[in-house]
Amino acid sequence: MERNVSIIGAGLAGTEAAWQCARRGIGVDLFEMRPQRSTPAHQTGDFAELVCSNSLKSDSENTAPWLLKEEMRRAGSLLMGVARECAVPAGHALAVDRTSFATKVTAAISADPRIRIRRQEVTEVDRSQITILAPGPLASDALAEEIARFSGSSHLHFYDSISPIVEADSIDLAKVYWAARYEKGSADYLNCPLAKEEYDRFYDALVAAQSVEERDWENLNYFEGCLPIEEIARRGRDTLRFGPMKPVGLKDPCTGRMPYAVVQLRRENLRADSYNLVGFQNHLQFAEQGKVLRLIPGLEHARFLRYGQIHRNTYINAPSLLTETLQMKQHPKIFFAGQICGVEGYVESIATGLMAGLHAAALASNARLVAPPRATAFGSLVYYITHANPLNFQPANITFDLLPALDQKIRDREQRHRRQCSLALEEFDRWIGSLDPPGLASMPPPGCLCLDGEA
């Protein structure tokens, strides 16, 4: 039996995966190319370096990011434990001292006798060996080429082009209407009609809004097919009306006429109770987006679950390539974890590292691999990345709209979320309990140092 797992990348996902394997008695070869070769965003040679903000998002009970963190805590996550030790005051968020966070993760991983650290860039992947690929959104070029080779080049993306998403019950339904263009197919789109004055006001605000500064190394050469809306707008006052705000074939039933311009909202199949602003990817600062997009009729009080973004990001087309246990369909010994598997964010990256670690450990031990239940935050993330439409797959961070809708409708948001969390945690406990012997979740692997450095 193979009792060893190779892990490529000692970032957030890779270190959590290594820890999960080690505590199940599996030997790990953990490959990390820093400090010899760095990425454009990392500053140190430490493992689990947080490259930008120091926040692991909301820690308020019964929010979606809290639920994901709570599931990790219950699964014995190393990085969640270290994060709590390094927490700094940040209101309702869990924020950490990034230096002590990375130092402590590096110390814990380095002290584990089952984890062999290999400071080298990996450029080839042995598909006959159980391997977790966790090289992050800035995977080295040589490794990205290798992944493109064995997964198919059309299945590797280098940029994220994200449209904003709003919560359904924050849309003013009195101002919008259902319609399909030219009445072809079912009327699945909500349409926000704009009169000329409303369009002009929106246009002026859009071209005046501040963009996010592009980093030197990002070199965002936009594809014509997914230009940011502000870029389209700069090409002429009417360009948007011939692009993402095209009104033709969308007669407004209230007036019986075609509006001057239209913004279409599409309900995502796998996202309950939320709508995507179709074709509205943009590179504006988040605060500016809030102001500009709320000028659209029907969205005056919109609550944004996600703002638009365009940034450098290497990720695979998970719906085409992966199973719910994060294994490649074509090469079952290869797992993906972290941002490269199609999730977005620090906490989501750690969570997929944790899952890949425990699945890879199960494979190495000849045990059964069981995906997390759909009702949990773990299960919802994985369900989304493996079942979303591969044609327009966009990475996701955890939000309630990824969780399955409740059988019974609860109107009050807080009560609804509380119910979703309690169901998720019940299912989670059953799942994690069925995988691991009792007590494993709270047990460090033998021989490891205490996190404060004392043996």
Ligand X SMILES: Cc1cc2nc3c(=O)[nH]c(=O)nc-3n(C[C@H](O)[C@H](O)[C@H](O)COP(=O)(O)OP(=O)(O)OC[C@H]3O[C@@H](n4cnc5c(N)ncnc54)[C@H](O)[C@@H]3O)c2cc1C
How far apart are CB 245 and ligand X at their closest, in Å? 30
Structure tokens at 241: 């009306």
Q: Per CB under 6 A, does 115 bind ligand X? A: no
Question: Of 35 and 249, which has the nearer Cβ to ligand X?
Answer: 35
Shortest spacing between CB 36 and ligand X, in angstroms: 10
Q: Does 279 bind ligand X (CB under 6 A)?
A: no
b/e for 172-183, b at 16 or more Cβ within 10 A? eeeebbebebee
| For ligand X, the closer CB: 94 or 122 | 122
Helices 413-435 and 377-387: crossing angle, nearest 10°? 90
Task: Decide if 17 contacts 30 (C-beta within 8 A).
Answer: no
Closest distance to ligand X from the beta carbon of 403 (Å)? 19
The least distance separating ligand X from the CB of residue 33, rounded to whole angstroms, comes to: 4
Q: Which of 13, 78, 296, 382 binds ligand X (CB under 6 A)?
A: 13
Residue 233 binding ligand X, by CB under 6 A: no
Question: Which is nearer to ligand X, 135 or 319 (by Cβ)?
Answer: 135
Give the nearer residue to ligand X in terms of CB position, either 4 or 44: 44
Phi, psi of 271 (to 5 degrees): -120, 105
Query: Does residue 219 interact with ligand X by CB under 6 A?
Result: no
**In whole angstroms, how close is the CB of 81 to ligand X at the nearest point?**
17
**10 scored as a contact of ligand X (CB under 6 A):** yes
DSSP string, 312-378: EEEEE-HHHHB-TTSBBSS-TTEEE-SGGGTB-SHHHHHHHHHHHHHHHHHHHTTPPP-PPPTTSHH
Residue 233 neighbours by CB under 8 Å, 6+ apart: 203, 206, 207, 239, 240
Q: Which segment (27-35, 107-115, 182-190, 362-370) binds ligand X by CB under 6 A?
A: 27-35
Instruction: Compute the distance between CA of residue 66 and CA of residue 69 in angstroms, rounded to an integer.
Output: 5
Question: CA-based angle 260:263:269, to the nearest 5?
Answer: 150
Binders of ligand X among residues 135 to 194 (CB under 6 A) are 135-140, 143
Applying CB under 6 A, does 51 fall inside the site for ligand X?
yes
CB of 135 to ligand X, least distance (A): 4
CB of 385 to ligand X, least distance (A): 13
Q: Give the interface size with ligand X as a residue count (CB under 6 A).
A: 33
| Residue whose C-alpha is closest to residue 15's, from 136, 129, 120 | 136
Does residue 121 interact with ligand X by CB under 6 A? yes
Report in angstroms how near the CB of residue 138 gets to ligand X at its nearest: 5
- Give the length of the chain: 455
Residues 6+ apart with CB under 8 A from 212: 283, 284, 285, 309
Our CB check for ligand X shows the closer of 177 and 346 to be 346
Q: How far apart are CA 232 and CA 240, in angstroms?
A: 6
How far apart are the two ends of the chain, measured CA to CA in Å? 32
- How far apart CA 393 and CA 390 sit, in angstroms, is 5
Cβ 30 to ligand X shortest distance, Å: 9
Smallest distance from ligand X to CB 17, Å: 9
Question: What strands, in cross-sheet order, belong to the sheet with 165-167?
Answer: 177-179, 189-194, 261-267, 274-277, 165-167, 304-306
Task: Assess contact for 341 and 315: CB atoms under 8 A.
Answer: yes
> Is residue 395 close enough to count as binding ligand X by CB under 6 A?
no
Indicate the residue among 160 and 427 with the shorter CB distance to ligand X. Answer: 160
Q: DSSP label at 62?
A: T
Candidates 6, 11, 317, 399; binder of ligand X (CB under 6 A) is 11
Using the contact rule CB under 6 A, the part of the chain among 12-20, 74-82, 161-169, 369-377 near ligand X is 12-20
Cα–Cα dist 245/227, whole Å: 13
Distance, in Å, from the CA atom of 268 to the CA atom of 237, rounded to the nearest integer, reads: 30
Residue from 5, 23, 24, 31 touching ligand X (CB under 6 A): that is 31
Comparing CB distances to ligand X, the nearer of 58 and 325 is 58
Q: Of these, 81, 319, 345, 445, which contacts ligand X (CB under 6 A)?
A: 345
For position 346 contacting ligand X by CB under 6 A, the verdict is: yes
Q: Give me the residues that bind ligand X (CB under 6 A), please.
A: 8-14, 31-34, 39, 41-42, 51-53, 121-122, 134-140, 143, 338-340, 345-346, 349
